[in-house]
């Protein structure tokens, strides 16, 4: 019944609009404005241009200021602070260009509205002005490029030798995390060895794998460089850690990486924001299927001592009976492991490229 009423009301509204439209045309025909090209409506539109600029501009700046507090994720990494400065500097530059060009657009539209008896100024080109307004943006762009390029090379450059290494693997629809264990070497993994218990696909024929451990959340120490190695085992995902200004795709078949230095522990950030429930979060930022929007992982930034304690308390995969049994079965089934996956091993060594930090570095944190 209510649906019917709504439809009826909508139908009646349409009829009303239709009638208004016809009446408007008829009045226009009688008043002569139907065929006259330039009339009152020209002045109204010109005025609306000005009104739009003033009211719209004010509303924009008001809402921007109003929401400013909410739109800045807290920053918790060294390069994040530099990026933030660059972002707002660029915003100011483009903000200036925005205000000038929009103002000219609307003011000219209002000011140079049609007037009977006036003629437009025949002005086809002026090389001098054109050169100026080509060169100025070019210079501004060049300086932005230079600043961006310098920061980009630093951020994406090789991680410091003593960086703590961990690996994140994306899968539909959660994240897996592993640490290299006491030997500070991530062991070889092979996607063919994956099953329910061994969801990283650890290849235990590699000695380095035995002391690796998996974790349900990421722990990193404050003030120490962290290198995140990133993999995916099914489709594309992206590691996005907004508070650390970190983002990198997880690509099946092509390990990627990103390094950063956390500056604020979770506790410090909780105190700073006055939010005892605050957590750093890792979100998936590349469409990966049904559960894309729920692929979350918490990140804990510890004081260095706490981190070392947490690290020491973890149990290596070799103590996980299910995983070991599963590996044994899978390696027999597939013929992989036990030196059988040499190819995978070679590529894995290449992936884990630089020499990992000794435990001493970890302990001395």
Q: Binding to other proteins (CB under 8 A): which residues in 222-281?
A: 233-236, 238, 240, 242-243, 245-249, 251-254, 256, 277-279, 281
Quick one: CA torsion of 300, 305, 306, 307, rounded to 10 degrees?
A: 50
Tokens of 149: 């390029």
Cα–Cα distance measured from residue 97 to residue 87, given in angstroms and rounded to the nearest whole number: 15
Part of the chain binding other proteins (CB under 8 A), chosen from 103-111, 221-229, 301-309, 352-360: 103-111
CB closer to other proteins out of 219 and 245? 245
Positions in 22-41 near other proteins (CB under 8 A): 24-25, 28, 34-35, 37-38, 41
Tokens of 245: 């200004």
Positions in 275-314 near other proteins (CB under 8 A): 277-279, 281, 283-294, 296
8 A C-beta contact, residue 202 and residue 264:
no
Q: How far is the CB of 268 from other proteins (least distance, A)?
A: 16
Q: How far is the CB of 167 from other proteins (least distance, A)?
A: 14
8 A C-beta contact, residue 165 and residue 357:
yes
Q: How far is the CB of 203 from other proteins (least distance, A)?
A: 13
DSSP string, 133-171: HHHHHHHHHHHHHHHHHHHHHHHHSPPPTT-EEEEEEEE
Q: How far is the CB of 161 from other proteins (least distance, A)?
A: 19
Helix (H, G, I), strand (E, B), or coil: what is residue 322?
A: helix
Give the residue, chosen from 93, 197, 215, 365, that forms a contact with other proteins under the rule CB under 8 A.
Answer: 93
21 binds other proteins (CB under 8 A): yes
Dihedrals phi, psi of 224, to nearest 5 degrees: -125, 135
Dihedrals phi, psi of 77, to nearest 5 degrees: -140, 160
Positions in 55-74 near other proteins (CB under 8 A): 56, 60, 63-64, 67, 70-73
Helix (H, G, I), strand (E, B), or coil: what is residue 101?
A: helix
Give the residue, chosen from 7, 31, 114, 353, that forms a contact with other proteins under the rule CB under 8 A.
Answer: 114
CB closer to other proteins out of 142 and 363? 142
Give the residue, chosen from 160, 192, 268, 270, that forms a contact with other proteins under the rule CB under 8 A.
Answer: 192
CB closer to other proteins out of 343 and 358? 343
CB closer to other proteins out of 16 and 309? 16
Query: For other proteins, how many residues bind (rule: CB under 8 A)?
Result: 112
8 A C-beta contact, residue 185 and residue 352:
yes
CB closer to other proteins out of 243 and 265? 243
Cα–Cα distance measured from residue 108 to residue 106, given in angstroms and rounded to the nearest whole number: 5
194 binds other proteins (CB under 8 A): yes
Give helix 78-111 / helix 127-156 axis angle, nearest 10°.
Answer: 160
């Amino acid at each position: 019944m209510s649906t019917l009423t709504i439809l009826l009301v909508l139908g009646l509204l349409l009829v009303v609009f239709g009638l208004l439209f016809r009446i408007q045309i008829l009045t226009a025909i009688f008043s002569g404005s139907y065929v006259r090209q330039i009339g009152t409506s020209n002045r109204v539109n010109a005025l609306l241009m000005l009104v739009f600029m003033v009211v719209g501009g004010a509303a924009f700046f008001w809402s921007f200021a109003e929401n400013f507090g909410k739109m800045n994720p807290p920053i918790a990494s060294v390069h994040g602070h530099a990026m933030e400065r660059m972002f707002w500097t660029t915003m100011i530059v483009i903000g200036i260009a925005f205000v000038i060009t929009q103002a000219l657009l609307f003011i000219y539209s209002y000011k140079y509205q049609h007037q009977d008896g006036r003629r437009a100024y025949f002005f086809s080109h002026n090389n001098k002005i054109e050169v100026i307004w080509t060169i100025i943006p070019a210079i501004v762009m060049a300086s932005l490029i230079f600043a961006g390029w310098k920061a980009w090379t630093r951020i994406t450059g090789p991680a410091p030798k003593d960086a703590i290494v961990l690996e994140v693997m994306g899968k539909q629809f959660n994240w897996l995390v592993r640490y290299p264990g006491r030997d500070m070497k991530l062991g070889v993994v092979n996607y063919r060895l994956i099953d329910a218990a061994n969801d990283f696909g650890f290849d235990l024929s590699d000695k380095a794998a035995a002391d690796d451990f998996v974790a349900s959340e990421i722990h990193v120490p404050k003030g120490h460089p962290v290198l995140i190695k990133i993999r995916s085992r099914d489709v594309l995902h992206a590691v996005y850690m907004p508070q650390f200004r970190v983002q990198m795709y997880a690509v099946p078949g092509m390990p990627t990486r990103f390094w950063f230095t956390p500056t604020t522990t979770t506790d410090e950030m909780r105190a700073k924001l006055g939010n005892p429930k605050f957590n750093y979060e890792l979100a998936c930022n590349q469409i990966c299927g049904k559960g894309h929007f729920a692929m979350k992982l918490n990140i804990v930034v510890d004081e260095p001592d706490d981190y070392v304690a947490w690290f020491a308390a973890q149990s290596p995969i070799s103590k996980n009976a299910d995983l070991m049994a599963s590996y044994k079965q899978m390696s027999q089934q597939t013929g992989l492991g036990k030196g059988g996956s040499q190819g995978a091993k070679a590529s894995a060594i290449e992936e884990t490229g630089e020499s990992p930090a000794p435990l001493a570095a970890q302990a001395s944190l």
